């Protein structure tokens, strides 16, 4: 699952990812642990104008769905402040 975070600053995206409690930071190797990794597609694609925000890739593991949703909701509070 990929979530576009925008418009927002890279600092807000970093705060969101850092605020996750159940998700670890890293690329998925199809393991059982939920992971998150931010990346800015504007620096990775030949048509940077097609991408307006910073993406956060979420790899969902085997944790409780309710716990993962609650973790995402509490981490998204960074955008309210």
Which pTM value belongs to this model? Answer: 0.80
How many angstroms separate the first and last alpha carbons of the chain? 25
Instruction: Please say whether the beta carbons of 17 and 79 come within 8 A.
Output: no
Q: Which two tokens stand for residue 78?
A: 């960074």
Domain boundaries, the chain: 2-79
The Cβ of residue 42 has, within 10 Å, a number of other Cβ atoms equal to 15
Tell me what percent of the residues of the chain surpass a pLDDT of 70. Answer: 77
Exposure of 74 in the CB half-sphere (CA atoms within 13 A): 12
To the question of domain 2-79 being in CATH 3.90.1150.10, the answer is yes
pLDDT tens digits, one per residue of 36-50: 998 876 666 666 566
């Amino acid at each position: 699952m990929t979530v576009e975070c925008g418009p927002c600053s890279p600092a807000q995206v970093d705060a969101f990812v850092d605020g996750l409690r159940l998700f670890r930071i890293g690329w998925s190797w199809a393991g059982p642990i939920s992971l998150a990794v931010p990346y800015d597609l504007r620096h990775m694609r030949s048509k940077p104008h097609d991408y307006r925000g910073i993406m956060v890739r979420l790899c969902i593991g085997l944790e409780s769905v309710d716990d993962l949703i609650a973790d995402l909701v509490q981490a998204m509070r960074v955008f309210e402040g």
